[in-house]
């Protein structure tokens, strides 16, 4: 269990002032090509300078010292840099969870994860709440408010980068919401974030939205893909992930074959392990069969506790160590590579499946 510090930071109450800069359209989530058109007649080379300032996380147009003062003043009248505020931060020894206030008063969460070597990963949200309703995920239990726009997605990265005090190594879209149900805004955000940041270090995690996976394969920026497969037994998967019951595992695998043929990346299969539910040898055999023929790594995730979640009337529980070890052995005996995900952020309710759980201190 991660130790929690008392380093809780707060911003003013969750209400933006009437004259807030957020009332002006933000530029933070606009890709460079769009920005050139949007800011015309400012010359394209000047717009690229502005874009780079935005990408570095500038707090004011007046920081952009290589832009003529008259242009900065005009920009400040017409546009905002950002539309969101940091509402609070909870810090642990391997993670920081940020609550981010959107312009309409909705609050989302994003997480900065730190590994043993000090590498930092920004875990970003794409929706407020989630419509998929996976039974093991607290965010799904919150219901669905709305999808985020590209500025609201990108600004999470800027807030986390400020908290990190340094460079961020990787970006994962594994926070609140289903990224592939917000394709257009996700794509715009990736186009902004990938400027000077390798696409190989950006991962999109999905519950398995078929149409979205085909979109990734058909001309998207070549991000990496992670797919949640808590069970490769169709009936059990439907019960654990009711939002995915409209398509079969066979259809999902066909989409993954297409993605892999086009993008050439190894796929991560994320398997949340629930004590006594999906950890049998039969479950492992079904997962191994599903993975067969694909270039995959199975990421085993012992369920991170989130109060109030039930499966068919019974409280969920985390599997024991021996239960996890046996499942991993079953997979590896069938030639499937499997890794156990190290828990990060559980003490601040910032781990996989916990976003939307508000610990004491907010």
Active site residues: 109, 352
**Residues 153, 159, 165: CA angle, nearest 5 degrees:** 140
Alpha-carbon distance of 213 to 254, in angstroms, equals 10
- Tokens representing 349 are 């309710």
Alpha-carbon distance of 280 to 326, in angstroms, equals 8
Mapped onto helix, strand or coil, the DSSP state of residue 34 is helix
Alpha-carbon distance of 38 to 293, in angstroms, equals 46
Q: Classify residue 79 as left (phi > 0), alpha (psi -120 to 50) or beta.
A: beta
Give the chain's radius of gyration (CA, Å). 21
Alpha-carbon distance of 57 to 165, in angstroms, equals 12
Contact (Cβ atoms closer than 8 angstroms) between residue 287 and residue 317? no
Task: Say how many CA atoms lie within 13 Å of 303 toward its Cβ.
Answer: 27
Alpha-carbon distance of 88 to 361, in angstroms, equals 9
Cβ neighbours of residue 204 closer than 8 Å, sequence gap 6 or more:
173, 179, 180, 186, 216, 223, 224, 225, 226
């Amino acid at each position: 269990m991660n130790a929690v510090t008392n380093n809780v930071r707060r911003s003013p109450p969750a209400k933006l002032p009437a004259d807030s800069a957020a009332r002006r359209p933000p530029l933070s989530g606009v890709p460079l090509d769009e920005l050139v058109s949007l800011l015309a007649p400012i010359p394209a080379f000047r717009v690229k300078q502005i874009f780079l300032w935005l990408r570095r996380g500038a707090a004011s147009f007046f920081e952009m010292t290589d832009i003529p003062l008259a242009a900065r003043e005009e920009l400040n009248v017409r546009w905002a840099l950002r539309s969101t505020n940091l509402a609070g931060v909870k810090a642990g020894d391997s993670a920081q969870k940020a609550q981010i206030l959107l312009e309409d008063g909705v609050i989302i969460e994003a997480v900065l994860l730190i590994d043993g070597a000090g590498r930092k990963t920004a875990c970003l949200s794409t929706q407020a709440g989630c419509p998929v309703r996976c039974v093991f995920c607290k965010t799904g239990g919150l219901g669905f408010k709305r999808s985020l726009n590209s500025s609201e997605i990108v600004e999470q990265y800027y807030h986390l980068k400020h908290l990190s005090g340094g460079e961020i190594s990787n970006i994962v879209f594994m926070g609140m919401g289903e990224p592939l149900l917000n394709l257009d805004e996700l794509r715009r955000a990736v186009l902004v974030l990938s400027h000077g940041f390798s696409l190989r270090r950006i991962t999109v995690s999905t519950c398995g939205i078929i149409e979205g996976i085909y979109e990734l394969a058909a001309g998207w920026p070549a991000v990496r893909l992670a797919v949640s497969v808590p069970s490769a037994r169709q009936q059990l998967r439907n019960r654990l992930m009711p939002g995915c019951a409209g398509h079969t595992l066979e259809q999902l695998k066909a989409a993954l074959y297409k993605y892999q043929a086009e993008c050439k990346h190894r796929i991560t299969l994320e398997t949340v392990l629930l004590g006594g539910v999906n950890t049998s040898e039969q479950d492992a055999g079904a997962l191994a069969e599903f993975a067969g023929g694909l270039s995959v790594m199975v990421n085993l995730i012992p369920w991170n506790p989130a109060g109030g979640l039930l499966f068919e009337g019974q409280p969920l529980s985390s599997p024991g160590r021996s239960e996890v070890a046996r499942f991993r052995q079953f997979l590896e005996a069938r030639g499937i590579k499997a890794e156990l995900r190290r828990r990060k952020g559980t003490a601040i309710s910032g781990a996989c499946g916990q976003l939307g759980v508000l610990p004491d201190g907010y």
